A and B are shown apart, each in its own frame.
Chain A
Amino acid sequence: MRRSIRIAALSLFALIALPAFAQESPDQTVKRVSEETVQAIKADPKIIAGDPARIREVIEQKLLPNFDFMRMTALAMGRNWKQTTPEQQKRLADEFRTLLVRTYSNALTQYRDEKIEVRPLRADANATEVTVRSEVVRPGRPPVQIDYGMTKTPQGWKAYDVIVGGVSLVTNYRDEFNEQVKAGGVDGLIKTLADKNRAAPAK
């Protein structure tokens, strides 16, 4: 009896909470995730000292749930995506994800005192794909513009591209992936990614 009340209460809570979360606008999502990540970094002296395990943990917990890796991988694959099996797609997305976690781990060890300012979004309320613009401000140095390509999913807005100072991650990897597929097919690309991920651990 008690249990069913609790379940009823929980599902009621979920009913209220879920739409509220889904209604979070994409710029709010970027702002929230950025703030949470920066706070997690600042709160942990081990991260400032460059502890790779802790940094990875923050990335897994704070950043990754807000990325749509399948879509990101599909875009990076371009027209080659059509010739992949669902199993290949899953492996590609997994390996790509691992590679990006490593890259982000390395980038975050270089975090100092930057502030992230997210610009308010002006977009159609019905839009399902938007670009959120933000700026990383560093004292005494020129700001760096970071834009996020975001897509609306049932679980809220998720990023499928990061554009740093005009350099799109997806566009960069599209050239890389295309080259690997041309040389060794989709399985060749998966192998290259897996080898790279297994090689030198993130510094």
Chain B
Amino acid sequence: MMIPRFVLPIALAAALALSGCATTSGAPTRADPLEPFNRVMFKINEPIDRDIILPGVRAYNETVHPVVRQMISNFFGNLDDMFGALNSALQGKKEKAANDLGRVIVNTMFGLGGLIDFASEANIPRSDEDFGQTFGHWGMPAGPYLFIPLLGPMTARDGLGYGVRAYLSPILHINDHVVRDVLFGVGYVDVRAKGYEAQQLVGGAALDPYTFIRRSYLQRREYLTYDGQPPPRKDEDE
């Protein structure tokens, strides 16, 4: 649990600093004990997102041809599938692991190193398993909810998962640092472009985007961790 250890002192400091200017909303709950800290992070993220990231995503969508964008998505999707195969295997899900492995082989060999997603055309399903779900499957608790500027919502467990994933990513180990950084950047824009429409919907639907995103994220991750069969939830009026 490396992430909470790193985050807690900062959170405590932020919470102390904030205790003087507590807002009406923001009382910590069970799922979000670090809410005051997270809300500050959310506020810091807002202008960055609005003035830098989203205009960048729009420019990417407008200037890059849809076919090229699809190829970029497929390339990173192929990396996701490699980790999907590994994580399915780590959870003992043989069929999912086999499907993901099949996807990687088909797309890498026949799809120009992953640029073309023949496996989806052939209806080989993607497992979407990741390290956060694997840790959950092994019984690690989700830990506190976090909102990190540029990275967005996550639980401590998912954050640890992202860390492991980033560390093992082949992109991190590219020796040419310019190539490495460009690939990281393009991968980031690809992720944000895929979530762009959903983000617009949240803006229209939410009374308080912070709360809306938190509950959506926690529900979605629980659903994925339990492979679409989450245990019936108690009435969380709290």
Q: List 20 A-B contacts (CB under 8 A).
A: A103-B201, A103-B204, A141-B120, A142-B120, A142-B125, A166-B222, A166-B230, A171-B236, A172-B216, A174-B236, A175-B212, A175-B215, A175-B236, A176-B215, A179-B25, A179-B208, A179-B211, A196-B207, A202-B204, A203-B200
B24 touches A110 (CB 8 A): no
User: Mask for A154-194, Cβ within 8 A of B = 1, else 0?
Assistant: 00000000000111100110111111101110000000110
Chain A nearest CB from B6 CB (Å) reads 27
A60 to B227, CA, bound (A): 34
A180 to B216, CA, bound (A): 18
Q: Which residues of chain B from 171 to 195 have any CB-CB distance to chain A below 8 Å in the complex?
A: none
A99 contacts the other chain (CB 8 A) = yes
B219 contacts the other chain (CB 8 A) = yes
A178 touches B219 (CB 8 A): no
A residues in contact with B205, CB < 8 Å: 99, 102-103
B residues in contact with A142, CB < 8 Å: 120, 125-126, 128
Contact partner of A166 (CB less than 8 A), chosen from B197, B214, B228, B237, is B228
A86 to B212, CA, bound (A): 27
A residues in contact with B233, CB < 8 Å: 171
B219 touches A168 (CB 8 A): yes
B204 touches A203 (CB 8 A): yes
Q: Say what secondary structure dominates the interface of chain A.
A: helix
Chain A nearest CB from B72 CB (Å) reads 15
Chain A nearest CB from B208 CB (Å) reads 6
A106 contacts the other chain (CB 8 A) = yes
Q: In which size bucket is the chain B interface?
A: 20 to 34
A167 touches B120 (CB 8 A): no
A166 touches B208 (CB 8 A): no
A178 to B237, CA, bound (A): 8
Contact partner of B228 (CB less than 8 A), chosen from A145, A176, A203, is A145
A176 touches B204 (CB 8 A): no
Contact partner of B215 (CB less than 8 A), chosen from A141, A172, A193, is A172
A183 touches B24 (CB 8 A): yes
A93 to B219, CA, bound (A): 24
Q: How many residues in A have their beta carbons less than 8 Å from beta carbons of B?
A: 33
Residues in chain B within 8 A of chain A (CB atoms): 24-25, 27, 117, 120-121, 125-126, 128, 197, 200-201, 204-208, 211-212, 214-216, 219-220, 222-224, 228, 230, 233, 235-237
A14 to B137, CA, bound (A): 54
Chain A nearest CB from B205 CB (Å) reads 4
Residues in chain A within 8 A of chain B (CB atoms): 78-79, 99, 102-103, 106-107, 110, 140-142, 145, 165-168, 171-172, 174-180, 182-184, 192-193, 196, 202-203
**Top 5 A-B residue pairs of the complex, sorted by shortest distance between their CB atoms:** A166-B223, A103-B205, A183-B24, A167-B219, A78-B237
A167 touches B207 (CB 8 A): no
Q: Which residue of B lies closest to A103 (CB)?
A: B205
Q: Which residue of B lies closest to A177 (CB)?
A: B207
Other than the given A106-B201, A142-B125, A172-B216, 9 more pairs (CB < 8 A) read A79-B237, A103-B205, A142-B128, A165-B223, A166-B228, A167-B223, A175-B211, A176-B215, A183-B25
A171 touches B200 (CB 8 A): no
Contact partner of A176 (CB less than 8 A), chosen from B120, B128, B208, B230, is B208
A residues in contact with B206, CB < 8 Å: 176
